[in-house]
Structure 1
Amino acid sequence: MTWFSSPADAADRLGSAGYLADAATATTAYLAGALEKPLLVEGPAGVGKTELAKAVARACDAELVRLQCYEGLDEARALYEWNYKKQLLRIQAASGDESWSETHDNVFTEEFLLTRPLLTAIRRDDPTVLLVDEVDKTDVEVEGLLLEILSDFQVTIPELGTVAAVRRPLVVLTSNASRELSEALKRRCLYLHLDYPDAARETAIVTSLVPDLDRVVAEQLVATVGRLRELELKKAPSIAESVDWARTLLALEIGTLDEAAVAETLGVVLKHASDHDRAVRELRLRG
């Protein structure tokens, strides 16, 4: 499968899927498909890393398989595990009627296998985008598992043998850079750094997703979000929260984003009391 025919095609199709990709993003998305290389997308939270993988899936009419990473994630949750309860019932039902070797062979079959995201993506025949989200939150051991998967796109299940990908998924790994990933993992990936867009680009994103919002209000919103991101906040507003704010202003029929309107709706973009207080103080809003 050819995911995209060119960087320009990637930009056009991602745009049609609701994702405005700049030249670097479109080029890297094209190369990830053309070279069959995993794509590591790094950057602060809320800049559209996860949304890029979703947009690629929408643009290419592919299934999205998502592995949400977290501290303590293990192979059983990422790759596969056996349905032990069902196996036990099968063993109890066969008690006395079969030898142990026959029973063992019968309970370690496809019927008792519970596939998790990594194995699911490898086994799919149809076009698939595998999203490994927030990979920096996992332990080093999971990185080792990913290295095996991303190197050969195959998994060895001791009881069943080696399962190789019939059709390689397009793999997108995202990282908020909360820890440094191993060089071995990075070597296997293309790399894209996403940051908050400039004002013109964010205005284009907001107006494309909330087309009924007045252009002047959209520009005021983006300028205010930019000022908020310059403050030392616990959580800077994401692009998605900018869009939520735009929809809020539209719903409230606010025709200009003055200080009163900002103070009234600030909770849409700031989710910590300390951030809210700091914004009120720094932007000199009426608290």
Structure 2
Amino acid sequence: MSELFTDAEDVRQRLDTVGHLVDEGTATALYLATVLDRPLLVEGEPGVGKTSLAKALAQVLDTPLIRLQCYEGLTPGEALYEWNHQRQLLAIRLTEAHGGRLADADLFTEAFLLDRPLLRAVRHQGPLPPVLLIDEIDRADDEFEALLFEFLGEAAITVPELGTFAAVRPPVVILTSNRSRELHDALRRRCLYHWIDFPAPERAAQILRRTIPAASESLIATTTGLLGRVRALDLDKAPGLAEAIDWVSALAALHVTRPSRADLLGTLSAVAKSPDDREAIAGALDSRP
């Protein structure tokens, strides 16, 4: 079966065509995940582009993006599959109306099966595998991780009433985590691993130029320099790349080219996510050179 990419540089260049800039390490991690058919666990602070990486990959491959957003209390039925109980009940009533009776085996067939994200990824029939994004896995309960082991290790899901569904070709699986809790070693062993850090000022500026072409060089230079200093502060939530984009976008929307302190202070809602952080960042603005 043909490879999705020729090498890591091919990954980097093709992601670049859809406006997503990645470094060599990230490109290599993605390439290995596709070549080895292994899930890729991507960790990093919020806002560094973990989720957008999966979206850009699906766009480059022109294949569906299937997303499972994790949260506390996520159930197997929401992630794996469910039975269409309303349709089952309707089938029972229709059969009884005609004097018949349905056995359990008649009710638990593929006709009544509802594919949720994981089973949908396994049963995908397109020419290329889909990209499956399991987003913020650290927000799900510990027990939920155990449900993923068969899927991550074998690209298969077992439905007791029907048997095991295995992917013809494993989906490209990207799991993201903000490290709000530690993940099980068993999950980590089933995945390749990559850490995404906040980009250096030069790369951040490059990304901002690409993302916000209306922003002036002076605006980009000022904000990236400030963000580097701000991230060194003791904040409740250090601003990530997403906040950098929001801040520059806000200033550009106000037609600011050379931001003054008043301009920066007036748009702090893009980067400060708590009163304490706003106060700390405002102090950093006062002390900037």
- 2:123 alignment counterpart: 123
Q: CA deviation at 1:100?
A: 4.2
Alignment pair present for 1:206 and 2:228: no
1: distance between equivalents of 2:102 and 2:113?
Answer: 19
Identity of aligned residues (%): 46
Paired letter, 1:21: V
Tell whether the 8 Å contact from 1:83 to 1:112 is kept in structure 2 after alignment.
yes
Q: CA deviation at 1:105?
A: 2.8
1: distance between equivalents of 2:244 and 2:102?
Answer: 61
Gaps of 5+ in 1: none
Tell whether the 8 Å contact from 2:92 to 2:101 is kept in structure 1 after alignment.
no
The CA deviation string for residues 44-102 of structure 1, in whole angstroms up to 9 with x for no partner, is 1111111111111111111100011111112111100111122112212222622342x
Paired letter, 2:113: L
Alignment pair present for 1:107 and 2:107: yes
After TM superposition, the structure 1 = structure 2 runs for residues 1-287 of structure 1, keeping only pairs within 5 Å, are 1-95=2-96, 97-101=99-103, 104-126=104-126, 127-284=129-286
**So what's the TM-score if we normalise by structure 2?**
0.93
Q: CA deviation at 1:274?
A: 2.3
Paired letter, 2:220: A
Tell whether the 8 Å contact from 2:12 to 2:27 is kept in structure 1 after alignment.
yes
The CA deviation string for residues 97-132 of structure 1, in whole angstroms up to 9 with x for no partner, is 22342xx23322222211111001110012300000
2: distance between equivalents of 1:173 and 1:189?
Answer: 9
2: distance between equivalents of 1:151 and 1:168?
Answer: 10
Tell whether the 8 Å contact from 1:196 to 1:239 is kept in structure 2 after alignment.
yes
Gaps of 5+ in 2: none
Tell whether the 8 Å contact from 1:125 to 1:167 is kept in structure 2 after alignment.
no
**So what's the TM-score if we normalise by structure 1?**
0.94
2: distance between equivalents of 1:229 and 1:159?
Answer: 52
1: distance between equivalents of 2:50 and 2:105?
Answer: 43
Paired letter, 1:39: L
1: distance between equivalents of 2:137 and 2:92?
Answer: 38
SS where residue 53 of structure 1 aligns? helix
SS where residue 148 of structure 2 aligns? helix
SS where residue 257 of structure 1 aligns? coil
Tell whether the 8 Å contact from 1:32 to 1:190 is kept in structure 2 after alignment.
yes
Paired letter, 1:66: R
RMSD: 1.5
In terms of mean alpha carbon deviation, does 234-243 or 194-203 score higher? 234-243
